[in-house]
Structure 1
Amino acid sequence: MDCQKIIKTLRHKDFIKVDNKGNWFEEGAAIYAKEITDNIFLLFVILKGMHIENIQALIAHFDCFSSIGLKEPEQIMFYLSIKDKQDLHYFDQYLKTSDN
């Protein structure tokens, strides 16, 4: 999976890179967030280990945008660990279903 291509796509879709200053996400994780409704955010967390790249997609409620990367969310409504392109396909289908 090409994480650089995914990061470029996220930036193009108005996701904002968030500083990871808390303890909830692993050290070195890159966090990209976008508010989808009042204090409900779509997050992509990219973890880069020695031998694997892992992306986590979350829909979560935070008290405000600035608490992302500092505190745990108040509620997680959706979570998916993306390890291959098929997982991205499932996530895309979920988002299309959620719009209806």
Structure 2
Amino acid sequence: MKSIFMNSHKIIHSLKNKEFIKIIHKGDCFEAGAAVYAKEIEENIFLLFIILKDIDIENIQALIAHFDSFTSIGLKEPEQIMFYLSIKDKNDLHYFEQYLKASHN
């Protein structure tokens, strides 16, 4: 269990180093206590990582979604979800990385 916990801290540290911004959410879009990190990847298109409050690798979600603005993340539902992944193990992270690399080509 400790290794899973440490991996989630590495993910959070990595997000902060890759210029993701922690979103303070007050709406009902995400579970109370969830840590939400977002980065704009195109105009009004955001890559989000949602880490639920118990910080367990089984409770990390990644999504690419369209919001009308950065400030609406967490307050309003996204206008469109273009990609969603529930990250359950390291293979899921690997597949997500490959998806991002393919989308830039």
What TM-score bracket applies, with the shorter chain setting the length?
A: over 0.9
Contact 2:45-2:66 at 8 Å conserved across structures: yes
Q: Which runs of 5+ in 1 are unaligned?
A: none
1:11 matched to 2:16? The reply is: yes
Residue type of the partner of 2:20? Answer: F
Q: Which residue of 2 aligns with 1:66?
A: 71
1:97 aligns with 2:79: no
C-alpha offsets along residues 15-47 of structure 1, whole Å, 9 cap, x if unaligned? 000012110111111000000010000000001
Give 1:49 deviation, angstroms.
Answer: 4.0
Alignment correspondent of 1:83: 88
Moved more, 43-52 or 33-42: 43-52
**Percent of paired sites with the same residue:** 72
More helix by share: 2
Q: How many residues align?
A: 100
**Structure with greater proportional strand content:** 1
Superposed CA RMSD: 1.6
Change in Cα spacing, 1:4 to 1:77, as seen in structure 2 (3 Å) is same
User: Which runs of at least 4 in structure 1 moved beyond 2 Å after TM superposition?
Assistant: 48-53
The one-character-per-residue Cα deviations of 1:24-83 (angstroms, maximum 9, x if unpaired) are 111111000000010000000001349774110000000000000111100000000001
* Gap change, CA 1:99 and 1:73, over 3 Å in 2: same
1:48 aligned counterpart, secondary structure? coil
**Letter paired with 1:81:** S
